[in-house]
Copies of this chain bind each other. A is one copy, B any other.
Amino acid sequence: MKAYAFGVDIGGTAIKLGLFDLGGRLCDKRELPTPKDDGGAHILPAVAATVTGVMKAAGIAPAAVAGIGMGVPGPVGAQNVVDHCVNLGWGVVDLGAEMRRLLPDIETVCAGNDANLAALGELWQGAGRGCSSAVMLTLGTGIGGGVVIGGKILPGAHGGAGEVGHLAVEIHEAVPCSCGKRGCLEQYASASGIVNLAKNMLAGSAAPSRLRQMPAFTAREICALARDGDGLARAIVSRCGRYLGLGLSYLSCAVDPEIFILGGGMSRAGDILLDPVRQSFRENAFHVSVSTPIVCAKLSNDAGIYGGARLVLGP
């Protein structure tokens, strides 16, 4: 009788692992630094050892575990084969086969892209609870995205569904994005993007701002100054929000989800960012979808482990 599922989120810095019951309750949670040496060869053994440790501590037999759902920061093919995770030092890794070798008593192992799993987790037990479709944007150093429809991740024909960070929102951009294109949403609305946007807007204006006194600043500091009433900081956050709202309008014309969920560090800026996002979305979305809620994520850094467990359990 299956009563539990594991969700694992393998990041470039830390591995997070959660034991969930079938109702979505997080029963145990572990975190360990990602052992990236030797081309990431020790990562999956560390996951397997932690899974075994958690099962022992809770007195759970392998037969009671429905499976392990694992998120990785890179593209995952149909057969749970990971194709190059730069952040983990991995080349092509057959994650399913490898985990079956390490934990032969666990019935199911499945893998997904971390941003997709975060979306699935938020839909299951977070901000999208009760919805059957959602698009989630994770606004971190870059922008990850996940599209969930009918309770299932939409991977896309080439693994490109939900690549919302690379929506071309600014046709007049001169500087290339890390992907090689120009004018991607990620260049304005990620944590690094808003810093670059700020530098450009400071250089292109004579308006006073406390940002001018700072030799360097972070996304968090820009948002804090905007909340404090710094006019230029507010204009920067507003422009960032407008690009985001425009991007959401594109997603809406394509998949028209029940809800948009914003996660990642940038989403903690709150209404100073969300207000221009919502306004720009209302201006650019097609009328039938114009009231789609745009909300902040609820599960924070645990969204990925929730999504991993849900990937095993299914909708």
Contact = CB atoms under 8 A, between A and B. Distances in A.
A288 B289 CA distance: 28
A160 B249 contact: no
A284 interface: yes
A121 interface: no
A90 interface: no
Contact of A166 (B154, B167, B286): B286
A160 B75 contact: no
Contacts of A30: none
Interface in A148-168: 149, 154-164, 166-168
Contact of A156 (B179, B256, B283): B256
A154 B255 contact: yes
Interface in A231-283: 246, 249-258, 283
A135 to B, nearest CB: 8
A130 to B, nearest CB: 12
Given A168-B249, A181-B283, A289 B158 contact: yes
A162 B286 contact: no
A287 B181 CA distance: 9
Given A154-B149, A168-B246, A246-B168, A159 B284 contact: no
A118 interface: no
B254 A250 contact: yes
B163 A75 contact: no
A185 B104 CA distance: 53
Assembly of this chain: how many copies? Answer: 2
Given A157-B258, A255-B161, A256-B156, A167 B283 contact: no
A303 B143 CA distance: 38
Contacts of A161: 254-256
A268 to B, nearest CB: 24
B252 A160 contact: yes
A163 B256 contact: yes
B292 A158 contact: yes
A287 B179 contact: yes
A256 B157 contact: yes
Q: By CB atoms of chain B within 10 A, which of A135, A155, A181 has the most?
A: A181
A155 B150 CA distance: 11
Task: Give me the 6 closest cross-chain CB pairs, A-B, nearest first.
Answer: A156-B256, A254-B254, A160-B256, A160-B289, A157-B258, A250-B250
29 contacts: A133-B157, A147-B255, A154-B255, A156-B255, A156-B289, A157-B256, A157-B257, A157-B292, A158-B289, A159-B256, A160-B253, A160-B286, A160-B289, A161-B254, A162-B254, A163-B256, A163-B286, A163-B288, A167-B250, A167-B253, A168-B284, A171-B246, A179-B287, A181-B286, A250-B250, A250-B254, A251-B254, A254-B254, A255-B255
